[in-house]
A and B are shown apart, each in its own frame.
Chain A
């Protein structure tokens, strides 16, 4: 998976609790992305980063925040998890302009009860 790890790989949590997902890369790529994948919706962009401390919103950013304090780490936080945030979350990285090839992590399955 091109030097990308995600943690945790599986998580079950309760509505209203905060959750943080971590993406770690060893490729020194500039761009990092968080997507969610849901049946019937395909892959949708939540947030992305184009450098340390530089982030921007994607298509479905409501209820999510991100931080990138180091090149290798991109954190996705659900401030107060809701059942609608039950999903599979994928991190991806890219060098160049970000529109080029993206390399995906293995995913995190999140269940919010």
Chain B
């Protein structure tokens, strides 16, 4: 069963706009990660946030984590057409494995 659930399932925006995706999970975690998948390719790691962190930045990416609400958000600022992809959150709970959500499909139109 999925630990993380992304919302929305699909998101369509224009270039230059910001994109926000959310992830909710059910049990306590050690860390939460976000991955990107371009069509037909393997997943690529974007960012990892630990359970004792509340916010993390990497370039145009901003991730927040609220452990009291068991949720995380990924913000992509100033989106580009090249950001078009599926985005997955993944949680770790101390068993050497990650549990992935079903993903958010982001379409950025020029």
Contacts and interface: CB of A to CB of B under 8 A. Distances in A.
Interface of A: 1, 4, 31, 33, 35, 40-45, 48, 50, 58-59, 90, 92, 97-107
Contacts of B30: 99
B33 A101 contact: yes
Residue from the set A33, A48, A59, A99 with the largest chain B CB neighbour count within 10 Å: A99
B98 interface: yes
B31 interface: yes
Interface of B: 1-2, 30-31, 33, 40-45, 48, 88, 90, 92, 94-103
B88 A43 contact: yes
Given A42-B2, A42-B103, A99-B31, A107 B98 contact: no
Given A1-B42, A43-B43, A106-B41, A99 B98 contact: yes
Contacts of A102: 43, 45, 90, 98
